[in-house]
């Protein structure tokens, strides 16, 4: 398991799967995890030499920070209501 966790392409594939799932189920939840996995993939590719525990911690912290940033950037302003004037099906 540790050998697979230290391969950059496994983390990159994980990030790609999460990004594809985000397209299928939008809401900027899985995108934060995809960004965290991409960051860990970059760290492993750069051969930083972290153990599986540290890689998991970097993944968790980066995912949380990415999710908080995405939420603050794409969140509706206070008091705003999302309305739709046209229906694409009519």
pLDDT value at residue 3: 73
Residue 19 per-residue DSSP state: H
Low-confidence ranges of the chain (pLDDT < 50): none
Distance of CA 17 to the CA centre of its chain: 10
pLDDT value at residue 82: 66
pLDDT value at residue 27: 72
Burial 71-82 (b: 16+ CB within 10 A, else e): eeeeeeeeeeee
Give the residue carrying structure tokens 């990159």: 12
What pLDDT, in 10s, does the model give residues 32-49?
A: 999 999 999 999 999 888
Distance CA 1, CA 55 (A): 13
């Amino acid at each position: 398991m540790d050998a697979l966790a230290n391969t950059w392409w496994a983390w990159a594939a994980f990030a790609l799967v999460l990004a594809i799932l985000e397209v299928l189920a939008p809401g900027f939840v899985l995108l934060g995890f995809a960004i965290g996995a991409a960051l860990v993939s970059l760290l492993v590719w750069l051969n930083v030499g972290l153990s599986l525990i540290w890689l998991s911690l970097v993944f968790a912290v980066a995912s949380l920070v990415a999710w908080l940033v995405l939420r603050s950037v794409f969140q509706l302003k206070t008091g705003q209501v999302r309305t739709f004037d046209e229906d694409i099906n009519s």
